[in-house]
Amino acid sequence: MSVRKPLPRWADLILLPFINLCAAFFVCGIVVWIIGENPWNALIVMIKGAFIYPGSLGYTLYYTTNFIFTGLAVATAFHANLFNIGGEGQAYVGSLGILLATALFAPYLPGIFVILLCIVCSALMGAAWALIPGYLQAKRGSHVVITTIMFNFLASALMVWLLAGPLIQIGQQSPQSDLIPKNAHLPSAETFFGWFGIDVASSPLNLSFLVALIALFVFWVLIWKTRLGYEIRAVGKNQDAANYAGINVSRTIIITMTISGAFAGLLAINEVMGVQHRAILNFTAGYGFTGIAVALMGRNHPIGIFFASLLFGALFQGGAELDFEFKSITRDMVLLIQGMIILFSGALAYMFNPALSRILTRVLKGGEHDD
Amino acid sequence: MIEFFFQFLWALDATLRVATPLMLCAMAGIFSERSGIVDISLEGKLLSGAFVAATIASLTGSAWLGLGGAICASVLMSLLHGFACITHKGDQVVSGVAINFLASGLTVILGIAIFKRGGQTPTLSSDERFRPIELWFVDILDNIPILGSVYRELISGHSLLVYVALICVPVASFILYRTRFGLRLRAVGESPIAVDSAGVSVTWLRYRALIVGGVFCGIAGAYLSISHGANFVREMSAGKGYIALAAVIFGNWRPIRAFWACLMFGFLDAITSRLQGVDLPIIGEIPSQLMVALPYIMTILLLSGFIGRPSPPSAIGLPYRK
């Protein structure tokens, strides 16, 4: 048996992920067909709902913003071979940073500083929530996979208690915090373009999208252009080798988890400062888990993460459209698509590898057999 | 005093009901993890089992067919997990996450397609469910003061699946520690290469462990929707699979200890609703969210070695490559 040649770079980076994605959609299509609807029509409805209808692009990009943050969180941890399932909880707790910052600074400082401080504080709170699992893995040997799952439940319990108790809006029955002050609101896309006299449709899209793009760039610089990023990747490839090369492994693990949590915490700025203007119950709505799919599909690279986020943004927005157009398929379809994408681009990522490499060798060598 | 005794008895009774799916899922988790496969997909298997049980029971009118269907569905999920992380050596955590998503999505999509009730299944009548069973001699033992009440309230009057769960624990322990299959299963979680060089198939052994786990989760799912409850509601597993996983860890990957952990977590759950708004002496009112968080906090403390020393299977999470 000959040793199989690795795939060419372009095939590994573009062709294989594309095939995996198609496989995921194909299986979902079969499910749609089984329940008696036309999968092709469903796809058209989703594309229209995500990009064509007025304002829909804004919604798509608003969801994209969330997925960029949570995707970056998962990807950062992946580079150190850590699995952060806790993006959900870290984002949830991130909102506390914003509430804290607005309470402390909003009465005294002008808007721009308040906004910057809020952004920093949401990242810090997310970071703190990930720091504990990171510390426990590095120093006490408990695995982050399990501890971050548990921390999601802890975050949920903590937030329910806070939002229904100490932080509840006066005179309100439903668990939600007070509105944050006006000067801590992030301008919506409508307002922003309005400043330049451009008319765009109303949507929840806001300036946190720009913060997400900056975060993508920061992530790229961090992972590939800094010493810390090198250490993170070294620890991810081989802890023993990294240790032997003089890298402090447990310190790197803790820092990686902290940065990962900071990215997740930033999700709160989109929801709390950009859209809801308050912390509400379950505002994270599963975005943290979707970050896993985003990172897997985006191959932990900022460009990949951007397009994967865009895809999921489109799925979430387009999926909502399914509710209106079909009787028997709803936005829950998106959960299935996510599951399939995680399965095919994550757990089964290399299932098609042998077949693909056989076909490619044959095609590239013009039908010559090599095995 | 009598009042308190009955309060306590009812709390224990509720504990048993809440702990049943936890026990079954914990046994599933132990089989899977002792064979070296991380199983965070307990939640998804539980959910799909619950859905299929309620659907089939509602369509056919038979609780037994529902149970059978639930086991099949849950085993199928296990096989998918195995296909991804045993056959294709994919990441076990990623595969588990995928299965949980698939279960959340599929149960609702199929539920809407079949019943058109927004993801719920129709309420089952009492002969489509596993009803409480009155055990023998309840009336005779009733004359004995304390023992009679314990027997009537706590031991008798549960559905068949509760007793099945209680039997599953010693059975799981027996299989793991007293049979050749169990010995090999534990060995493959510690050192697959040793098992392989002894001429036993690592792949088939791990598949079998996952299938056994699938059966347990299927029964647990059926318990949720056609015994404890009377229909399927979306996301009705509500994190129980994760609590069971915590119980596996808390029980140090051993059936009997995990059983006690399930009872403890179940007890916390059972008294949470009872303590709501109650002013206890000295400590005052306990926030119910603290009670909800307690199992997770205890598991984290245990995992981090602050209480006891966890000893997970050595080869857990690692795909076996020859």
What confidence tens digit (pLDDT) does each residue in A166-194 have? 888 888 788 889 899 988 899 999 889 99
Q: What is the pLDDT of residue A366?
A: 63
Determine contact: A165 vs chain B, CB below 8 A.
Answer: yes
Distance, in angstroms, between A269 CA and closest chain B CA? 25
Q: Residue A239: what residue type?
A: Q
**Whether pLDDT at A370 is above 50:** no
Cβ within 8 Å, pair A339-B99:
yes
Q: What is the pLDDT of residue A371?
A: 45
Do A76 and A144 meet the contact criterion of CB atoms below 8 Å apart? no
Q: Which pair of tokens denotes residue B241?
A: 């699979």
Q: Which whole number is the average pLDDT over A275-304?
A: 93
Distance, in angstroms, between A333 CA and closest chain B CA? 6
Return the minimum-mean-pLDDT range out of A11-20, A286-295, B58-67. A11-20
| Residue whose C-alpha is closest to residue B34's, from B169, B165, B181, B167 | B181
Give the residue from chain A lying closest to B302, CA to CA: A142
Q: What is the domain range of residue A227?
A: 68-292
Do B159 and B133 meet the contact criterion of CB atoms below 8 Å apart? yes
Cβ within 8 Å, pair A153-B94:
no
Q: Looking at chain A, how many residues does it have?
A: 371
The b/e string for B146-177 (b: 16+ C-beta within 10 A; e otherwise) is eebbbbbebbbebbbbbebbbebbeebbebbe
pLDDT tens string A186-230 = 999 988 999 998 888 888 999 999 999 999 999 999 999 999 999
**Whether pLDDT at B14 is above 80:** yes
Q: What is the mean pLDDT of chain A?
A: 91
Cβ within 8 Å, pair B112-A337:
no
Do A293 and A285 meet the contact criterion of CB atoms below 8 Å apart? no
Q: What is the DSSP string of B8-51?
A: HHHHHHHHHHHHHHHHHHHHHHHHHHHTT---TTHHHHHHHHHH
Q: What is the pLDDT of residue A11?
A: 83
**Whether pLDDT at A3 is above 50:** no
Q: CA-CA distance, B106 to B112, in Å (whole number)?
A: 10
Q: How confident is the model at residue B147 (pLDDT cuts 50, 70, 90)?
A: confident
Q: Which whole number is the average pLDDT over A117-145?
A: 94
**Whether pLDDT at A1 is above 60:** no
**Is A139 a member of any domain?**
yes
- State the burial class of residue A349 (Cβ atoms within 10 Å of its Cβ: 0-12, 13-18, 19+): buried
Determine contact: A339 vs chain B, CB below 8 A.
Answer: yes
Domain ranges of chain B: 2-303
Cβ within 8 Å, pair A153-B85:
no
**Is A159 a member of any domain?**
yes
Q: CA-CA distance, B157 to B124, in Å (whole number)?
A: 20
Across A1-5, A161-165, B260-264, the highest mean pLDDT is recorded for: B260-264
CA dihedral (B208, B211, B217, B218) positive or negative: negative
What ipTM, to 2 d.p.? 0.90
The b/e string for B18-55 (b: 16+ C-beta within 10 A; e otherwise) is bbbbbbbbbbbbbbbbbbbbbbbbbbbbbbbbbbbbbb
CB under 8 Å to B260, separation ≥6 — which residues?
A: B251
Across A36-45, B62-71, B137-146, the highest mean pLDDT is recorded for: B62-71
Q: What is the pLDDT of residue A356?
A: 87
Distance, in angstroms, between A181 CA and closest chain B CA? 29
Q: Helix (H, G, I), strand (E, B), or coil: what is residue B297?
A: helix
Across B5-19, B84-98, B123-137, the highest mean pLDDT is recorded for: B84-98
**Whether pLDDT at A367 is above 60:** no
Q: Helix (H, G, I), strand (E, B), or coil: what is residue A210?
A: helix
Residue A189, Cβ neighbours under 10 Å: how many? 23
- Which one of 3.30.70, 1.10.150, 1.10.3470, 2.60.40 gives the CATH number of domain B2-303? 1.10.3470
CB under 8 Å to A332, separation ≥6 — which residues?
A: B104, B105, B108, B109, B112, B119
Chain A CB contacts of B265 under 8 Å are none
Phi and psi angles of residue A206, each rounded to the nearest 5 degrees, phi first: -145, -175
**Is A249 a member of any domain?**
yes
**Whether pLDDT at B257 is above 60:** yes
**Is A162 a member of any domain?**
yes
Distance, in angstroms, between B229 CA and closest chain A CA? 23
Q: Which pair of tokens denotes residue A267?
A: 């999700």
Return the minimum-mean-pLDDT range out of A6-10, A288-292, B116-120. A6-10
Residue with tokens 């209480």: B307
Q: What is the DSSP string of B134-179?
A: PPTTHHHHTTSHHHHHIIIIIISSEEHHHHHHHHHHHHHHHHHHHS
Cβ within 8 Å, pair B113-A350:
no
Q: How many domains does chain A have?
A: 1
Do A74 and A279 meet the contact criterion of CB atoms below 8 Å apart? no
**Whether pLDDT at B71 is above 90:** yes
CB under 8 Å to B219, separation ≥6 — which residues?
A: B24, B49, B67, B70, B71, B161, B164, B165, B168
